[in-house]
Amino acid sequence: MATIDDVAKRAGVATSTVSYVLSGKRRISAATRAKVQAAVAELGYHPHAGARALASARTNVLALMVPLPLTPGTKALRPDIDVNVLMQFVAGIAPRARALGYDVLLVTDDDPSATERVWAGSTADAIIAMSVQAEDPRIEALSRARTPAILIGLPDDPHGLSCVDFDFESAGRLAIRHLAAHGHRRIAMVGPPSVTFERRMSFAERMVRGLSEQSAAAGAQFSIAPTAARRDAVATALAPVLDGPDRATALVVHHEAALPSVLDVLRERQLRLPQDISVIAVCPPSIAEQQAAPLSSIDVPAQSIGATAVEMAVAALRGEGAPETRLVRAELTDRASTSAPLA
């Protein structure tokens, strides 16, 4: 492989000149720059990432800590994690990182020590952590890091770290306000399985808080149906909510993987949307679009949140901006799966 010295020799300039042409950190005459660029092109030169990292103390890598739902060969199962949703964030993160000159390192160890491995080994310039829990053991480790860290999620105590996330609490309030305005007084959330709450996943808690507080304010009865995604589990979880005279007249579904099953169960029960029951989905737009019926939804702009996380990380690396928490406000798109209740 060609080295920077090869380029320098070929262009007839000093090594440092090549470096400066490449980094733009020095004014270089047009003539010299042209010679260097020609040599670079002719040799197909690409700087050695490791050498650059060693000399400059910068890797141009962003570490992305993403727990996976099932990690083969490990005891750590995380059925509380939805890959499909995670990927929506990644789809926002990776391209933005690239655009800003960073590569993305995927770290799937669900383990505070992985954090240390990454920053202490100068493996990445900054860390973005996903699937944050209200009390997340990784946060303390990240707050120690020499490296900026951004959390996607909102823990009880961010330990001074920056956070970005969707404002699930306001989303919950918004959903209830919308339904209450239509006259609904018995509302249920179809939510992730109880393990998600046991893990104290940040998004789930905030959603419930928004829903229940606003329900109280609106004088509406509110209940939660946590469930796995499988069709039979959903049917079972929905039974208490949909049976009896006090059955819910509206559902807020905050469980993207369960959406197909929910719609199927409703259909089987001959409940038409929105005449017989109102439904609001809370999920990334691309997931809402894949459903069997058009759904009124509160879009979780996962991609743009991911991109924002990258921007915050890069800003921190530039020494710009203090630690902050950014919550993206919720908006509701009415797609006719909500209306006034029958009774």
Residues that bind a second copy (CB under 8 A): 1, 44-54, 59, 61, 64, 68-74, 83-84, 86-88, 90-92, 94-96, 98-99, 103-109, 116-117, 120-123, 146, 229-231, 257, 259-261, 263-264, 267, 289-294, 303, 307
Between 98 and 329, CB nearer to a second copy: 98
Nearest residue to 207 (alpha-carbon basis) of 188, 220, 230:
188
Q: Does 124 bind DNA (CB under 7 A)?
A: no
Closest CA to 242 of 226, 260, 263, 266: 266
Nearer to DNA, 41 or 181 (CB): 41
CA distance 140 to 157: 9
Element spanning 50, H or E: helix 49-56
Using the minimum distance from each CB to a second copy, give the nearer residue, 112 or 260.
260
Among 43, 47, 71, 183, binds DNA (CB under 7 A): 47
Which residue of 40, 43, 44, 51 would you call a contact of DNA, by CB under 7 A? 51
Nearer of residues 21 and 241 to DNA, judged by Cβ: 21
The partner in contact with residue 255, picked from DNA, a second copy, none with C-beta cut-offs of 5 to 8 angstroms by kind, is none
| Contacted by 227, from DNA, a second copy, none: CB < 5 to 8 Å by type | none
Q: Contact, 304 vs 92, CB < 8 A?
A: yes
**102 vs 168 by CB, closer to DNA:** 102
User: What letters, b where the CB count within 10 A reaches 16 and e where it falls short, cover 40-74?
Assistant: beebebebeeeebbeeeeebbbbbbbbbbeeeeee
Q: What are the structure tokens assigned to 337, written together?
A: 């799966």
Angle, in degrees to the nearest 10, between helices 302-317 and 83-99? 40
Q: Which helix (H) or strand (E) holds 202?
A: helix 202-218
Q: Which is nearer to a second copy, 72 or 245 (CB)?
A: 72
CB of 338 to a second copy, least distance (A): 18
Whole-number Å distance between alpha carbons of 210 and 117: 37
Which residues are near DNA by CB under 7 A?
Answer: 1, 3-5, 12-17, 19-20, 22-23, 25-29, 31-33, 45, 47-48, 51-52, 54-56
